[in-house]
Structure 1
Amino acid sequence: MKNRPSHSQVAYAAIRERITSGELSSGAIVSEAAIAKELGLSRTPVGEALRRLSHEGLVDQIPRYGTVVRSLSPRDLRELFEVRQALEGMAAAKAAQQITAEVLEELELLCVAIDAEITSAQTCGANSLEGDALSRFLAADMAFHMLIISSARNRRLGEILEQTRSISSMFYARRGVHSLSRVIDANRWHRKILDALIAKDSAKASELVISHIQHSCEQSLQSHADGEAPVTLGTLNLPPSMRMALKAVTK
């Protein structure tokens, strides 16, 4: 019989989901009291969850003010992608030697699911994914990478990469739209990676994952350059003293 999650774990999962899905966007204030009331919990476990999320880099806790969902700067994004390149490349190499037939089948199904979103968008004449279609793509994309990571069978590696991908997913959720050409490109990379895993070619799988992430990094940074910058201090509705406090903890 599995142990039931603690109240702190329940609060953590609920808040984390709202942040990574974009429901709580960059710069949003996270009310400890409101969330506790909504989840039917005391403020203590919610406070514990927020401290954990702060440690993971998803929120900033500002003295005498409260908790704010973090913004991601171009430097933040580049650093996150660099970590992913190094660790996911290693994970792919390890996974290629021990991935199961069942997982390979699941990876194929995820590629098929993304192809279905592409076909649906093309049929409608759309040149981007948004709303539910975008959510389905992002979920499938995350699952594809996490299945490879889990197949490396290194618990600590998996924990680090799950955290890193959760932070970077804030950026995609906040944008609210994903160009169809980028989705097509991503699934081409997925197919190549899957072929390398099927062939049990560790070097090729690692090389492809690293190149895929590097390419995605450049696309994301270009999105910033095109004006899709995160919420900044100047756009938060804070008094000057609060703005200075936020600047001190996020610089």
Structure 2
Amino acid sequence: MSISSQSASEQAYAAIRDSILSGERAPGAMLGEVGLAAELGVSRTPVRAALVRLQDEGWITVYPKRGALVRGLSEKDARELADTRFVLESAAVQRATPQCRTELADRLASELDLQRSALGADDLSRFIELTLAFHRSFVEVGGNQVMLELSDRLADRQRFLLFALGDSLLARCQTIIDEHEALVARLRDEETEGFVEALRSHVTGTVDSGLRGLHR
């Protein structure tokens, strides 16, 4: 494959993937090579390579001569995602030093203002990215690079789940911010057990809302 075709394949992959994660191409939608190639302004070859990659990642199922079906996340996928995120985030916070937890609480407190600003502007995309960064910080504070890499690999699935909420997420944003604020308070007060329980409730509530969005 030439350098130019590699670049076209990467661009096609990124564009199709982003449209799936943002909900633009919803679960159940059929994607055709010809249509995608015309839309993206590339040949069918890089589109085909991009679809193979997306199938390997579990986002689509390719049916020869028919197209590709957008899969998204099943309920089982979403539940397992929530369980794994909870394990990573709670374990990382518990292994962090008290000083690191306090410093993290101070930093995250300022990020809550950014979340409020995004909510005030009805900027769903910005709010989602801020939420993902907020939760990544819980894993990062533990200082375990392997755990952080695992968390980063889950980020796209969480992004998809949040976008699936659509307008429902905007209605829940204030609740999410309130729950984030409670998590920060428990970090600052060194209520580690309380943090873990609050995190469990928060993650479960978010995925439950996400599933209702997926099935609406």
Scaled by the length of structure 1, the TM-score of the pair is: 0.65
Alignment match, 2:176: 186
Distance between the aligned counterparts of 2:62 and 2:165, measured in 1?
Answer: 24
Alignment match, 2:111: 110
Once the two structures are overlaid, the 10-residue window that deviates more, 15-24 or 91-100, is 91-100
Counterpart secondary structure, 1:86: helix
Aligned residues: 209
Give the aligned residue type for 1:136: R
Identity %: 32
Give the aligned residue type for 1:24: R
Give the 4+ runs in structure 1 shifted more than 6 A: none
Distance between the aligned counterparts of 1:32 and 1:107, measured in 2?
Answer: 43
Once the two structures are overlaid, the 10-residue window that deviates more, 22-31 or 183-192, is 22-31
Distance 1:95 1:52, change over 3 A: farther
Which protein, 1 or 2, shows the higher relative CO under an 8 Å CA cutoff with sep ≥ 6? 1
Distance between the aligned counterparts of 1:144 and 1:198, measured in 2?
Answer: 15
Which has a greater percent of helix? 2
Distance 1:115 1:39, change over 3 A: same
Q: Does 1:177 align with 2:163?
A: no
Q: Which runs of 5+ in 1 are unaligned?
A: 1-5, 122-131, 231-251
Could you say what the CA RMSD is over the residues aligned between the two structures, in angstroms?
3.4
Distance between the aligned counterparts of 1:43 and 1:151, measured in 2?
Answer: 44
Distance apart, 1:148 and its partner CA: 2.7
Distance 1:192 1:11, change over 3 A: same
Q: Which runs of 5+ in 2 are unaligned?
A: 1-5
Give the aligned residue type for 1:70: R
Output one character per residue of 1:187-231: Cα deviation in whole Å (capped at 9) or x when no partner: 12211222334456654444432231122233334x26xxx616x
Scaled by the length of structure 2, the TM-score of the pair is: 0.73
Alignment match, 1:51: 52
Distance 1:9 1:116, change over 3 A: same
Distance between the aligned counterparts of 1:51 and 1:117, measured in 2?
Answer: 35
Distance between the aligned counterparts of 2:203 and 2:177, measured in 1?
Answer: 12
Distance between the aligned counterparts of 1:95 and 1:190, measured in 2?
Answer: 19
Alignment match, 1:247: none
Alignment match, 1:89: 90
Q: Does the 8 Å CA contact 1:96/1:198 hold for their aligned counterparts?
A: no
Counterpart secondary structure, 2:25: coil
Counterpart secondary structure, 1:24: coil
| Aligned counterpart in structure 2 of residue 149 of structure 1, from 129, 136, 139 | 139
